[in-house]
Amino acid sequence: MAATSRQTDSSAEDDTAFLLHSYQRLRQIASERTADPTTLPDPASLAHAIAALPYADHSDFLAPRGAPAVLEHILTALAPGLNNQSLSGRYYGFVTGGVLPVAEAADNVVTALDQNVQVNLPGHSAAHAIEDAALAMLIALLDLGPATDWPSRTFTTGATGSNTVGLACGREAVIARRCEGVSVAEMGLLAACQAAGTREIQVLTSMGHSSLSKAASIVGLGHHAVKELRVSEEEPWRLDLNAVEKELAREGVASIIVISAGEVNTGRFATNALDMPKLRSLADRYGAWIHVDGAFGIFARVLPKTDEYLNLHAHVAGLELADSITVDAHKILNVPYDAGIFLCRDASIPSRVFQNPNAVYLATPSGPSGTTIQSALNIGLENSRRFRALPVYAVLLSEGRAGISSMAARMVTLARGIASFLASSPHYDLLPSPFNPNLESTFMIVLFRAKDPVLNTTLVPKINSTRKLFASGTTWNGTPACRLAISNWRVDPAADLPVVTEVLTTIATPHSQQ
Ligand SMILES: *Cc1c(COP(=O)(O)O)cnc(C)c1O
């Protein structure tokens, strides 16, 4: 390793030696941490990492330290303060996924070759064609019909980005459907609504993800536009189709319907078997847009078509009838952050909304092979963007349908194993319905609470302080609840189930274990 301190002065050989060395060190640390799959950093390492940060009142603040010293600092002082959400198969917080090795390898290529995938210039880079190949494979994997049904398709930063793009497209379409030639993109929301005789644009959903309200704010509809139309308090994730129809019929109101295909607390689904065809005909009758938030839940469609998954298949049936769909890649697909996907049936709405006007240098030349792939910068939020398709491409190509299907099935097997343990436990209530475990509706999220209300208020911190697994806290029917989301490719039901049940048993019966 050269003694060069600042890389801005170093040679190409120095750079290669430095990077090889850094990667060897990193992989060694990662494999040690995988062998000891604690989920959180120990408190001392966490404090040490924070204390090691540069502080503006130090005399050497922003003095050049050089690359080797910085690498040492990152690997030995900072990395121990980071959690094992990816390296442990038992980090069940939020829905995070992990990183398949082939995705990590591809992501390193993305960084090393640093393509800017914005304008599709066919003679310039294969990056856009690779993105499109990844999207076509994903559409086939999710059984959404021919890729040509989704002419506006692109990678986003994640489901929040995709939901925002979805509402922006929905907003444009529902106004244009009310009055031809009127465009929010051209005229702005206020003038377009006025021209279309529309006093309100509403978003109809059931237990919509929090990012949906955020998206509604960003696109100018506002949090209050999001209306919860739940079938019942027992099944609040289910969308009430009668209520939807009533809302659609309101005079002077345009509507976007958002399907929670995977509700984040319960993993349950807004629709069942025949709901999507009904919603499609309602939407067509009233000029509404249907957006599916399928961040993680849409992957139920890749599960084997066997009896144990029939119930889940029914809940994700018909999602291909939507106008637009959100998919996350950094969750179940196990690619690194950040990667989401937006799919849209309409060939022109996204480009109407996201077109960069007046920038001739950004125009896509029409070429023999490039004409069918829309430039990413004209159908999505960003202009400059990372080549985040490559890790997705790598996972789809490496695992294929069979590999992804069995990975998802392992997640479901562990979730159902935990759910079944909880359903028969004297200490816990399996939620959402303690008296109806309904295991065949369990996807890869398990929601529960302790029967003892005192224990229940400290349940999540007690679980997480064991560092053997990591749970997220939430509330269910106004009371604290605990949630396990199984989304890492490392999931190993035979090895993980005993660890989870042992932790939960010990927490509920501390004295009997001493
Ligand atoms: C995770 C999630 C989101 C937000 O996704 P990000 O990738 O974190 O932006 C939106 N909707 C659902 C259903 C989710 O699970």
Over residues 278-332, the pLDDT tens digits come to 999 999 999 999 999 999 999 999 999 999 999 999 999 999 999 999 999 999 9
| Backbone angle region of 65, left / alpha / beta, with phi > 0 → left and psi within -120 to 50 → alpha | alpha
Note whether 178 and 235 are same-domain residues. yes
> How big is the chain by its Cα radius of gyration, in Å?
25
Looking at 347, 364, 395, which one is the last position of a domain? 395
Note whether 36 and 135 are same-domain residues. no
Note whether 251 and 391 are same-domain residues. yes
Please give the pLDDT value at position 134.
98
Q: How confident is the model at residue 514 (pLDDT cuts 50, 70, 90)?
A: very low
Which residues, in sequence order, are bridge partners of residue 446?
Answer: 484
Report the Cα 358 to chain-centroid distance in Å. Answer: 33
Check residues 359 and 439 and name the one with the higher pLDDT: 439
The Cα-based distances of 175 to 66, 156, 170, 257, 469 in angstroms read 56, 25, 8, 14, 48
Residue 266 CA to ligand 1 center (angstroms) comes to 14
Condensed to tens digits (0 to 9), the pLDDT of residues 147-206 reads 999 999 999 999 999 999 999 999 999 999 999 999 999 999 999 999 999 999 999 999
Pocket of ligand 1 (CB under 6 A): 95, 158-160, 163, 209, 211, 262, 264, 293, 295-296, 328, 340
Token reading at 173 = 């379409």
The residue whose CA is least distant from atom 3 of ligand 1 is 159
Task: Give the domain CATH number at 270.
Answer: 3.40.640.10
The residue whose CA is least distant from atom 5 of ligand 1 is 159
Which residues, in sequence order, are bridge partners of residue 257?
Answer: 204, 290
For the stretch 41-71, what's the b/e string if a residue is b when 16 or more beta carbons lie within 10 angstroms of its beta carbon? Answer: beeebeebbeeeeeeeeeeeeeeeeebbeeb
Mean pLDDT of all residues belonging to the chain: 95
Residue 295 CA to ligand 1 center (angstroms) comes to 6
**Ligand 1 nearest atom to the CA of residue 296, by list position:** 15
**Ligand 1 nearest atom to the CA of residue 263, by list position:** 13
**Ligand 1 nearest atom to the CA of residue 94, by list position:** 1
Q: What is the C-alpha separation between 231 and 71, in angstroms, rounded? A: 54
Note whether 247 and 325 are same-domain residues. yes
Domain region containing 48: 15-83
The residue whose CA is least distant from atom 13 of ligand 1 is 295
Residue 16 CA to ligand 1 center (angstroms) comes to 37
Strands (E), 196-271: 200-205, 226-228, 253-260
Q: How confident is the model at residue 371 (pLDDT cuts 50, 70, 90)?
A: low
Looking at 83, 108, 140, which one is the last position of a domain? 83
In a domain, 204, yes or no: yes
Length of the chain counted residue by residue: 514
In a domain, 101, yes or no: no
The residue whose CA is least distant from atom 12 of ligand 1 is 295
pLDDT at 11 over 90: no
Note whether 460 and 489 are same-domain residues. yes
Q: How many separate domains does the chain show? A: 3
The residue whose CA is least distant from atom 9 of ligand 1 is 160
Q: What is the C-alpha separation between 447 and 459, in angstroms, rounded? A: 12
Could you tell which of 160, 210, 487 is best to mutate to test the pocket of ligand 1, judged by most ligand atoms within 8 Å of the CB? 160
Note whether 364 and 446 are same-domain residues. no
Note whether 37 and 185 are same-domain residues. no
pTM of the model: 0.96
| Backbone angle region of 144, left / alpha / beta, with phi > 0 → left and psi within -120 to 50 → alpha | alpha
Residue 67 CA to ligand 1 center (angstroms) comes to 36
> What would the mean pLDDT of 331-350 be, rounded to a whole number?
98
Note whether 412 and 451 are same-domain residues. yes
Residues 6 or more apart whose CB falls under 8 angstroms from that of 88 comprise 33, 34, 37, 38, 39, 470, 488, 490
In a domain, 107, yes or no: no
Looking at 373, 395, 417, which one is the last position of a domain? 395
Could you tell which of 156, 328, 381, 487 is best to mutate to test the pocket of ligand 1, judged by most ligand atoms within 8 Å of the CB? 328
Q: How confident is the model at residue 339 (pLDDT cuts 50, 70, 90)?
A: very high
Task: Report which secondary-structure segment, H or E, holds 330.
Answer: none
The residue whose CA is least distant from atom 14 of ligand 1 is 295
Note whether 365 and 422 are same-domain residues. no
In a domain, 112, yes or no: no
**Which alpha helices (DSSP H) does 181-240 contain, by range?**
184-187, 189-195, 210-218
Condensed to tens digits (0 to 9), the pLDDT of residues 79-134 reads 999 999 999 999 999 999 999 999 999 999 999 999 999 999 888 999 999 999 99
> What would the mean pLDDT of 237-241 be, rounded to a whole number?
98
Other CB atoms within a 10 A radius of the CB of residue 385 amount to 20
Token reading at 184 = 């929010």
Note whether 177 and 308 are same-domain residues. yes
Note whether 337 and 450 are same-domain residues. no
Note whether 289 and 436 are same-domain residues. no
